[in-house]
Chain A
Amino acid sequence: MVERYEIRLSGSGGQGLVLAGVILAEAAAIHDNMYAVQSQSYGPEARGGASKSEVIIGSEPISYPKATSPDLLLALNQESFNKYAPSVQAGGLIVVDSDYVVDELKGNYRLIGLPMTDLARTQIGREMVVNILCLGVIQELTGTVSREALERAVMHRVPRGTENINMKAFALGIETARKHKQEHPNG
């Protein structure tokens, strides 16, 4: 585990990215016994607008709680990609929704595009689980937080009655990322 690993989850308000950040950080801090801080910024609106959730994970206590140059960026729309891609750490990873991020800026990072929103809508039947599907993708691609820890945190945090579809979404995220890795062995 590195001393400090910065993650920024971005998209629009209502996509559940704050909850995704909370789950990721809780999995790391409570179940994987690492240090983790989750924070967010949002506008006054309940839906729409730009939403950003940040998680810092590390082997040491975390002082500054915000991401300055993320090791991992998740961008679910073009606006977030344009805004946050330039701050990504050299050699960092950007995961985008390939249906919504179409203009890709060149930069010193690994870019992986997957149709995550569409998968949630068509395979699970509920677009709202895209946040949990993204967590599966992140788990498989980075391994920063263990699968078991994330599953426990998902079960603890999602609304009652939605555990099944969220766990399905999580598993689909992992499967999708695994398939991508097999098809692109060199990243």
Chain B
Amino acid sequence: MKIKEVRFVSGNEACAIGAIAAGCTFFGGYPISPSSEIAEFLAELLPANDGRFIQMEDEIAAMGSIIGASLAGAKVMTATSGPGFSLKQENLGFACMAEVPCVIVNVMRGGPSTGAPTSPAQADILQSRWGTHGDHPIIVTCPTTVQEIFLEVIRAFNLAERFRNPVLYLLDEINAHMREKIEIPEASELELIRRPAPPQAENWGFPYRRNAEGVPLMPDFGTGHRCHVTGLDHGETGFPTGNAEIRQALHHALMAKIDKNAASIYKNDLFMVEDAETLIIAFGSTARSARRAVELLRKQGRKVGLFRPITLYPIPEADILKAAEGKRKIVVPEMNLGQYVLEIRRILGHDIPIAQVNRTDGEPITPDQIMAAV
């Protein structure tokens, strides 16, 4: 890969640089620790790259602003943290229902409520899957290193555009504020995806008619097409309907769009899994503690491996089953009181012992803690 530039930056800065590389042209936000630097960097980067930055009056309006900009054809992002993420849930549901491509960064801190603004947590995992009401499709990704934050935010934009769906991008205070070296590839090395284009019709009247992947062929607003979006159940024309058949078909189509294409959304990183007797499943910055624990235990001759899901949702069930096959024990460390472990338990059942390592005191889970649980 041809490298354009090598820099030493924080995770938040890498996220902002990555958004620009992904083609983001609009950010609407409201500052909140520990995510504020993303807005700060984009306030400089976007105007310099033919984009628009706007600070809204609150998180709800910020979410509304990116929905509007996306419908008008922009690649869009907002960034927030726990309390702000709660506020975004209503409009997030609208974006799922109206199938509006957008990337929402949540730099996780403790909760509930205002919690602890300057300390890390991973306590919004289940909220990221089910935070807004109703059955809805969602993609959630969670990077670990600063280099990965840069690369994965580009993938988040690509997934949002390809499926016309919100993608939630989960960082935490540790990897958002930590600084590492990143290599920024030449633009020509990056594959960028744009939402599926509607047919070349004079006035395409079916913004919710779907392509082979099940994604609507919606024109951007302002391109001469008649276009209607709503949070109500709707058919192919985008107008509300009470027709039971159309409503049922819509709900299935929304979920199928992600479920049927899940294989191309999954992304995992496996470290010394094959001959391992104990498997650690960890994500985000906790995966760094877990990797250190594996390195140290391997030096002692202990057979331990790490399965790191980068895509948290849709959940890579078959990959988790395969990685866990024949293992004697599973360890799930996470900076919450036990969230993703509920999914792991559901997938692996009760035949294999699953140990939890949890912490919500604002300190990272240490390699020692994980080693003790192994």
Measured CB to CB, the residues of A under 8 A from B are 22, 25-26, 29-30, 35-44, 63-66, 68
Contact between chains at B117 and A22 (CB < 8 Å): no
Q: Compute how far the CA of A63 lies from the CA of B179 in the bound complex, rounded to whole angstroms.
A: 13
Q: Name the contact of B179 in the complex, choosing from A35, A38, A66 (C-beta under 8 A).
A: A38
Q: Tell whether B368 is near chain A: CB-to-CB under 8 Å.
A: yes
Which residue of A is nearest B182, CB measured? A29
Contact between chains at B288 and A64 (CB < 8 Å): yes
Contact between chains at B8 and A65 (CB < 8 Å): no
Contact status of A65 and B177, CB under 8 A, knowing A29-B8, A30-B8, A43-B118 = no
Contact status of A44 and B289, CB under 8 A, knowing A26-B8, A63-B295, A64-B367 = no
B 1-45 contacts with A by CB, 8 A: 6-8
Q: Compute how far the CA of A41 lies from the CA of B366 in the bound complex, rounded to whole angstroms.
A: 15
Contact between chains at B6 and A37 (CB < 8 Å): no
Q: Name the contact of B288 in the complex, choosing from A29, A30, A63 (C-beta under 8 A).
A: A63
Q: Compute how far the CA of A41 lies from the CA of B178 in the bound complex, rounded to whole angstroms.
A: 10
Contact status of A36 and B181, CB under 8 A, knowing A29-B8, A64-B292, A65-B285 = yes
Measured CB to CB, the residues of B under 8 A from A are 6-8, 117-119, 174-175, 177-181, 285, 288-289, 291-292, 295, 364, 366-368
Contact status of A68 and B368, CB under 8 A, knowing A29-B8, A63-B288, A63-B295 = yes
Which residue of A is nearest B291, CB measured? A63
The 8 A-B pairs with the shortest beta carbon distances in the complex, nearest first, are A64-B292, A63-B291, A63-B292, A26-B8, A39-B178, A29-B181, A38-B179, A63-B288
Which residue of A is nearest B144, CB measured? A63
What residues on B are CB-neighbors of A38 within 8 Å?
178-180
Q: Shortest beta-carbon distance, A28 to chain B, in Å?
A: 9
Contact between chains at A65 and B178 (CB < 8 Å): yes
- The interface residues of chain B, by DSSP majority, are classed as mixed
Q: Compute how far the CA of A29 lies from the CA of B7 in the bound complex, rounded to whole angstroms.
A: 9
Q: Shortest beta-carbon distance, B148 to chain A, in Å?
A: 12
Which residue of A is nearest B368, CB measured? A68
Contact status of A39 and B181, CB under 8 A, knowing A64-B289, A64-B367, A65-B288 = no
- The interface residues of chain A, by DSSP majority, are classed as mixed
Contact between chains at B181 and A44 (CB < 8 Å): no
Q: Shortest beta-carbon distance, A158 to chain B, in Å?
A: 15
Beyond A38-B179, A43-B118, A65-B288, 6 extra complex contacts between A and B, CB < 8 Å: A26-B8, A30-B7, A36-B8, A36-B180, A44-B118, A63-B289
Q: Compute how far the CA of A117 lies from the CA of B291 in the bound complex, rounded to whole angstroms.
A: 39
Contact between chains at A65 and B174 (CB < 8 Å): yes
Which residue of A is nearest B175, CB measured? A65
What residues on B are CB-neighbors of A30 within 8 Å?
6-8, 181
26 contacts between A and B (CB under 8 A): A22-B179, A25-B179, A26-B179, A29-B8, A29-B180, A29-B181, A36-B180, A37-B178, A37-B180, A38-B180, A39-B174, A39-B177, A41-B119, A42-B118, A63-B288, A63-B291, A63-B367, A64-B289, A64-B366, A65-B174, A65-B178, A65-B288, A66-B364, A68-B366, A68-B367, A68-B368
